Amino acid sequence: MVIFNPSKNKFYIKIQDRILFSSERLWEGTGEVEIKEHHGHYLIKSVLKEKKKFEGTLRVVSEDPLEIEINGNKTSNRIIMEIELEDDEIIFGGGEQYNELNLRGKKFPLLVQEQGVGRGKNLISLLAALKGVRGDWYTTYFPQPVFFSNKGYGIVLKVFTPVMIELKDVATFEIWNNKCSVIFLEGSIEDMVRKFYEIFGGIFEYEDWMFGVWLASQGGIEKAEKVIETAKKWDIPLHAIWCQDWSGKVYTKFGRQVYWNWEYDREDYHDLPEYISKWREMGIHFLAYINPFLIKDGKMYKEAAKNGYLVKKRDGSVYDIIVTTFPAGLLDLSNPEAFEWYKSVIVRNMISIGIDGWMADFGEYLPLDALLKTSSAVEFHNKYPVEWARLNFEAVKESSRSIIYFMRSGFLGSTKFCPCFWAGDQNVDWSKSDGLPTVVPAMLSSGLSGVRFMHFDIGGYTSLFWLKRTPELFMRWAEVGAFSPVMRTHQTNRPLKNIQFDTQDDILKHFSKMANVHVSLIQYIKEQFNTSLKNNLPVVKPLFLNYPEDLESWRTKYQYLFGDDILVAPVLKHGKRWWRVFLPRGEKWVHIWSQKTFKGGWVEIPAPLGEPPVFIREDSKFSEDILTTIRKIERFYG
C-alpha cells in the first residue's frame, strides 16, 4: 500500500503492516568516484560528498506492481534510498552470486565485470591479485538490482548506472544517477520471484537436443570427428559438438585462444557447412562461438574501424583492449549502424552456414572512460550485455531456424533476450571461492533473478600456474552436470595440460554413465521447463522456494531442487565418499541409487564416484519411471 502526496513529496509505503519506505528515507546528493580497470576488473573507490533531503519530483508509474519514478535535481548525481532492516531479516538477490545467497551484512557495488580469478584468501588469489585479475566475493558477470526479503517485500531498481549496496542494519541503495524508477514487490519469496519473471523473464522454445549432451572439441574437423567417434564407441549420447575455435586459433601465454574474426577457418574447419549438414543427419548439432570483440588487424576489425563501429578513446582513436594477451576492438553497441552490421555478421557467417547455436561470450569490458556514439560509457556499461543479448536475439529472430545461444554476462533485462546462460570461468579446483562449489550458488541466485536455463563448464575453465583438473574433480563436476538443464564440457584455456572427458577409460565410463542418466531425464526436464514457463519460476531453485516453512531450507546453499521433484546435494570436496544431505521435512525422499526411502531431516549417505547424492520425492508422478531407469543404468555400468 502506498500513501502519496505528490504536491509535498510526502509518501510512505506500507507492506504487511510495516512502513517499509518513506520520504524521510529518500535522499539525493553528489558523489565522486575513482575506478581503476584492468582486464575487465574494476577497483572502485566511491565517496559521497553531499547528502541532503530529496527535493526533486516523484510519480507513481503503476500500482500493480507499485512503481515509483524518482527525479532528483540536475545538480545531484546520486539518489539514496534507505530501509531499516529487522534483526532476523534475510536478503536474497543481487543477480548471479558465486559465494553467498543471503546478502545480509554485505556491502558491494552492482557493476558488470569479470568474475575474477581466485576470489578468496588462498595462494592462487594472491598471485591473481599481483597480476590485477583477482576477483572478490561479489564480482560477477551478471549482477542485477533486484532484492527479495524474507519479510514479504522485494525491490527492483530500474537503472543501468552502477549502484552501491549496503545491507547491514539499514539497507542503503546509492544509485549513481539523479533519476531512476523503483518497483516494490510484495508477498512470499515465491510470489515475488514469480512477479519478477512476469516482468523481466523471456519466453523461449527449446528443442529436445538443447537439453542433451554437448561435447567440446578444438582443432578442426578431424578432431571433431574423433570426438563423435569416441562418443559412439563409449555409448555417450551426443546431441551437439561445440567447436569454439571454428573461426581459427591463436596461441598466447594464456593458452590456446580463439581467433576473433567471425568466419569459419577454411584450413582447420575445411568444408564446415557440409560437415554441419552431415552431423545434423546423425542427430548431432554444431555449436560455435562469438563475442563483441574483433582481433586487431583482422579483416573484420579493419572494416569496423573504417566505418566507426568500434568503441573509441577520447581522442577519437580506436580503444584497443587487452582482454587476455592480445589487443582487440570492442563493438560500439550504442551505435545503431554497428549493431545492425554485427547482426548481419551473425546471420551471414553463422546462421546461413547451418550453425545451430553458439556461446555469446563477454560483454563486461566496456571501459568507463570510452567514447561511444550515443551514450556515456558509465551509463552504458551495465546496459552493454543487455544490448549484446538483444543483438543475438534479433539475429536469431530474423532467421526461421531454432537456435540456442548462451551467455555469461548480463544485467536487468538480459533474461528477455537470452535463452540460456552459463556460470562463466571457474577455476579447475575445489575451492569455495572460485571452484566447483561456486556453480551451485550461481545457479540458485541466477534462478531467483529470472534465469530459467542455467548451466556451467563441466570441469571448470581457468587453469593457471599449478592448477590442473584431476580425474576426480572432472567426474564430480560431470555429476552436477547430469542433474542440470544441459551437460556441456569445456576443454579449459590449456586443453593439452588438462583432463578431458576422453583422457582415460575410467573417466569415459563415468561420463558415459552420467550422460545416460542425464538423457533419461530429458522428458522430466522438458516438463519442468513447461511448468517454469507456466508458473514463472526457475527450474533450478533453492530449497526454501518450495519449503519455506522449513528453517533449514533457508540456510542451505550447496544443495538445490532440480524441478519440483528431484533434490541434488553434490559432493563438493576432494576425497569424500560419504555426504551429509538435508531433506526438507514433510516429504518422503527416495535415494535414487539405493532406492531406500528417507524422511525429512539430515541424513548421511554413501556417495562413491558415479553415485552423487540425489533424491526424488516418493509421491512424484515421475518416481517410478526414473527409479526403474536408474536401476537399468546401474546394471549396465556395473
- Domain ranges in the chain are 2-200, 208-293+336-532, 540-637
CATH of domain 540-637: 2.60.40.1180
- Lowest-pLDDT range of 46-50, 112-116, 477-481, 524-528: 46-50
**Active-site annotation holds for 425:** yes
Annotated active-site residue in 425, 550, 564, 565:
425
Q: Which residue has the cell 559438438?
A: 241
Look at residue 6 in the predicted model and tell me its pLDDT. 52
Q: What's the pLDDT score for residue 39?
A: 86
- In the residue annotation, 361 being an active-site residue is answered as yes
Per-residue pLDDT averaged across 612-628, rounded? Answer: 98
Q: What is the mean pLDDT of residues 428-451?
A: 98
Residues 6+ apart with CB under 8 A from 274: none
- Residue 7, pLDDT score: 54
- Find out whether 436 and 430 touch, Cβ atoms under 8 Å: yes
Residue 582 has pLDDT above 80, yes or no: yes
Check residue 125 and give its pLDDT.
94
Report the pLDDT value the prediction gives residue 552, as an integer from 0 to 100: 96
Question: What mean pLDDT is predicted for residues 107-119?
Answer: 96
Catalytic residue among 114, 356, 361, 611: 361
DSSP-assigned states of every residue in 362-414: ------TT-B-SSSBHHHHTTTHHHHHHHHHHHHHHTSSS--EEEES---TTG
Question: From its phi and psi, is residue 201 left (phi > 0), alpha (psi between -120 and 50) or beta?
Answer: beta
Measured between alpha carbons, how far is 334 from 429 in angstroms, rounded to an integer?
A: 38
Please tell me the predicted confidence (pLDDT) of residue 362.
98
Q: In the Cβ-directed half-sphere of 46, how many Cα atoms lie within 13 Å?
A: 21
Q: Is the pLDDT score of 3 beyond 70?
A: no
pLDDT digits (tens, 9 = 90+) for 230-256: 999 999 999 999 999 999 998 877 667
* Residue tagged active-site, from 114, 364, 550, 587: 364
pLDDT at 108 over 90: yes
Residue 430's φ and ψ, nearest 5 degrees, are: -100, 5
Would you state the pLDDT for residue 38?
Answer: 87
pLDDT at position 298 is: 94
Average pLDDT over residues 140-146: 98
Residue 226 has pLDDT above 70, yes or no: yes
Question: Residues 25-52: what's their mean pLDDT?
Answer: 92
Radius of gyration of the chain (CA): 24
Please give the angle made by the CA atoms of 379, 381 and 387, to the nearest 5 degrees.
100
Residue 105 CA neighbour count, 13 Å, CB half: 6
DSSP-H helix ranges across 42-201: 123-130, 189-200
What percentage of the chain has pLDDT greater than the value 70? 98
Q: What is the rounded CA–CA span in Å between residue 430 and residue 436?
A: 5
What is the per-residue pLDDT for 8?
Answer: 66
C-alpha cell at 7: 504536491
Give pLDDT tens digits for 331-365.
Answer: 999 999 999 999 999 999 999 999 999 999 999 99
Res 289 pLDDT > 90 = yes
Equal CATH topology for 2-200 and 540-637: yes
Architecture of the domain defined by 2-200: Sandwich (2.60)
How close are the terminal C-alpha atoms of the chain, in Å? 61
In the predicted structure, residue 74 carries a pLDDT above the cut 80? yes
pLDDT at 4: 58
Give me the mean pLDDT over the 121-132 stretch: 92
Residues 6+ apart with CB under 8 A from 417: 202, 386, 389, 390, 392, 393
- Does 2 have pLDDT greater than 70? no
Q: What is the mean pLDDT of residues 510-524?
A: 98
Q: Comparing C-alpha atoms, which of 433, 439, 441, 395 is closest to residue 417?
A: 395
If you average pLDDT over residues 452-466, what whole number do you get? Answer: 96
Mean pLDDT for all residues in the chain? 96
What is the spatial distance between Cα 603 and Cα 580, in angstroms, rounded to a whole number?
A: 6
Class of the 208-293+336-532 domain?
A: alpha beta
